[in-house]
Amino acid sequence: MSNSNMNYQEMKQAILRGLVHSGWMAVDEISMNHTSAVAKKSFQTAVGERTAIAYFTDAPEECCKLSGEYTSEGNNVLSTTGFFVWYHQHPRSEVTTEDLFAGAVEFSKKAEVRISDTMPMRLMRQRSAE
């Protein structure tokens, strides 16, 4: 399904498929249809369950972006983790569902590395090892 002129919701669905493939869950339908939220993933940490949320935005004149939010120790540890398609380098009309799916998978890998490096996750691993 490589549509050369996908609308935002079609792009968002391709991103969602990549994230679900990577173990994330879709957000509720209202969030999917009315916000930039796409998917969420929960992590068991030393301080309880924490949830990461992935957001997808599209600025047709500039880029589309998959970003995330996961708060640990008062910071969004995913603030520097993102997947971008810059349209001046890769025209929006040429972006495929495969590009977006692959970007979502790559974003998920990077996000999990960042999350696993948080203190509550390191403590959890230490406790498991003891």
pLDDT in tens, the chain (130 residues): 444 578 999 999 999 999 999 999 999 999 999 999 999 999 999 999 999 999 999 998 999 999 999 999 899 999 999 999 999 999 999 999 999 999 999 999 999 999 999 999 999 889 888 8
pLDDT attached to residue 31:
92
| 3-class state of residue 61 by DSSP | coil
Strand arrangement, sheet containing 37-45: 25-26, 37-45, 48-59, 63-69, 82-86
Q: Are strands 63-69 and 48-59 parallel, antiparallel or unpaired?
A: antiparallel
Pair of tokens at residue 93: 């009309």
| 3-class state of residue 42 by DSSP | strand
Q: Nearest CA to 54 among 63, 42, 45?
A: 42
Pair of tokens at residue 91: 């025209």
**Spatial distance between the Cα atoms of 29 and 126, rounded to a whole number of angstroms:** 37
**pTM of the entire predicted model:** 0.91
Distances (CA, A) of 68 to 94, 104, 110: 25, 11, 11
Residue 78: how many other CB atoms lie within 10 Å: 22
